[in-house]
Chain A
């Protein structure tokens, strides 16, 4: 689905593709820094202690989430500057791309990159021979991973919109809400393999974020009804 999003909405306009790739790049850098921190922490600690390792992992995850949001903020700043540049250089005084579109594309960029990193090795392994969950792990590993990744990609998209909107209108609580949501989703993944604990809340949160982002982008229940009715 995320790839479909990409094809239909982004691939048409070259500027959006660039913003997408830059978004992915920012996510990558945040991942790099957070894994650097985690790596240092792990190296500095005792490799035998299981609980410590798990604790460090949790710390790493949380730190990574915070870093991702920080980089999203940095990216927002960069895009603001870029929009000013584009407006100054355009013929008719308005920029070819609005900040909301940028927010959407940035979100998709983040999401795609995080999804890719989560899924791609899994997919590559899935092509080969093997049995899922042979060592007593859950047999639904691939399925749940796929669903979790998809929900995460969508969430990143919505968070992008919410985040940028919050930054635009200086509503700090929106930004805080995004950060807290992200932390919650990552935290809920700690319940794995008890999948009901992680997938269900994530999907609920995603639905909430979707509605919120839709409302923020100017949609309303009326629009939705009109859209659906016109089509059929």
Chain B
């Protein structure tokens, strides 16, 4: 088993590339933003934006397509309605993101607490070559900083590589890469995970059963993630692979390196998304220009975002059909009276039969969900998992980190609604999480322990 583990270091390369991809994709909002605008433009339709974020831009673009004196009025009406909707339904979106993040964290924490395998140290990734077993504190610190630098540079290289590939339209290569890494995640890591869990609970399982189970799991996962599938199943799979990835990180990153990496990656995230030359920002902008969604394997979306292929939007013809298709696919329950824009636009689309429009009116809204990059899931879970694994205050620290991350997510989404553009999701949450972890572990724990031993209540 040990040799197997060490071998897996090399096997993890694609996995880590993928992780880098995912962490590179971490800015949730970019994808969100991008996804929104892409779908918007693709459908050439002024939906009520859930996350008003993208509202103004595409609305203007879309509105401009139609002729009309009513354009300015419509735009104003749209903007007002959008702003209302922003905060009104903003809460719903926040919850739509809370739930998967919470689920992922619960899975990771549960596994860490029960399966001993993930807290044993059995070697390190090749991305963190410096060991932390050194006697002196300074040396250890130096090693962890060096590890971090190496890791971050790997991530940067991967991100830039991905952006270049995207820019030069090497879609096949990217797809192949993603498929390969998700294959590995789904099959290999699930196999290891399942093996460890069964070992912990002393359940015997024969190889044929195991093979069938893993094969089914992996095959359905591949289809769900890369192709079409029920939204909830896709979300479940994305959560599961994020949790698996986080568990791998927790196991293979040495202690101090993990914390420094978490800090460094949130800084990197901040810069990569907000700086004009940042790779992630370029990725988002390129995707926006081409009106394409970012690859589904890298983004968690709380609502269906399938467009019919990635072709250039042929707005006039595709619009209505897209509407109906999307409405049918999404099947969201929320009834919403369509904006003036939509009804007017539908009028302009003369070949459009009335039926699809009404069905759209019925189904409406909530399709434009919020998107969060999978890298964010992973790093949140790494933080909470590490807290669960290494904190001596156990559950208090874990709970504190959990609440901190959720609040950070809330604030990020609030900022998203205010700034209406792509934002990195990592910095705020991770900062809160780190602050709370260290302070709870060192300050609150002795206090609570003393209180509990005297059975005092505050």
- Listed in ascending order, the chain A residues whose CB lies under 8 Å from chain B are 13-15, 17-18, 21-22, 24-25, 28, 31-32, 34-36, 38-39, 42, 57, 60-61, 64-65, 68, 85-86, 89-91, 96, 113-114, 116-118, 120-122, 124, 141, 144-145, 148-149, 152, 185-186, 189-190, 192-193
Contact = CB atoms under 8 A, between A and B. Distances in A.
B447 A60 contact: yes
Nearest to B414: A18
Contacts of B8: none
A1 B415 CA distance: 35
Nearest to A148: B457
Contact of A32 (B410, B444, B457): B444
Given A21-B406, A39-B443, A121-B395, A65 B458 contact: yes
12 contacts: A15-B91, A18-B91, A24-B403, A32-B440, A61-B451, A61-B458, A68-B458, A86-B87, A89-B88, A120-B395, A121-B395, A189-B456
Contacts of A39: 442-443, 446-447
Contact of A192 (B98, B407, B454): B454
A189 B457 contact: yes
Interface string B392-406: 011110011001101
Given A22-B407, A31-B458, A36-B439, 12 more contacts: A21-B98, A21-B403, A25-B407, A32-B436, A39-B442, A39-B447, A89-B86, A113-B403, A117-B399, A141-B455, A144-B455, A186-B457
Contacts of B396: 117, 120-121
A118 B452 contact: yes
Listed from nearest, the 6 A-B pairs whose CB atoms lie closest are A35-B447, A14-B95, A14-B91, A15-B91, A192-B455, A120-B395
A15 B90 CA distance: 9
Contact of B452 (A38, A68, A122, A144): A122
Given A32-B439, A90-B84, A121 B452 contact: yes
A152 B393 CA distance: 22
Contacts of B440: 32
Interface of B: 83-84, 86-88, 91-92, 94-95, 98, 393-396, 399-400, 403-404, 406-407, 410, 436, 439-440, 442-444, 446-448, 450-452, 454-458
A116 B399 contact: yes
B102 to A, nearest CB: 10
B455 A14 contact: no
B443 A25 contact: no
Contact of A57 (B86, B95, B400, B456): B456
B202 to A, nearest CB: 18
A219 to B, nearest CB: 27
Contacts of B452: 118, 121-122
B118 to A, nearest CB: 18
Given A39-B443, A189-B456, A89 B84 contact: yes
A144 B454 CA distance: 13
Nearest to B95: A14
Contacts of A116: 399
A57 B458 contact: no
B192 to A, nearest CB: 27
A189 B456 CA distance: 5
Contact of B450 (A57, A91, A113): A57
Contacts of A118: 448, 452, 457
Given A21-B407, A32-B443, A85 B87 contact: yes
A89 to B, nearest CB: 5
Contacts of A38: 447
A28 B84 contact: no
A144 B452 CA distance: 12
Given A14-B91, A39-B446, A57 B404 contact: no
A35 B406 contact: no
Contacts of B455: 141, 144-145, 148, 189, 192-193
A121 B457 contact: no
B278 to A, nearest CB: 30
A31 B394 CA distance: 17
B336 to A, nearest CB: 11
Contact of B456 (A144, A149, A186): A186
A39 B455 CA distance: 18
Contacts of B447: 31, 34-35, 38-39, 60
Contacts of B456: 57, 61, 186, 189-190, 192
A190 B455 CA distance: 8
A144 B210 CA distance: 47
A204 to B, nearest CB: 16
A64 to B, nearest CB: 4
B39 to A, nearest CB: 23
A182 to B, nearest CB: 9
B19 to A, nearest CB: 28
Contacts of A24: 403
Given A57-B450, A86-B87, A121-B452, A14 B410 contact: no
B457 A57 contact: no
A17 B95 contact: yes
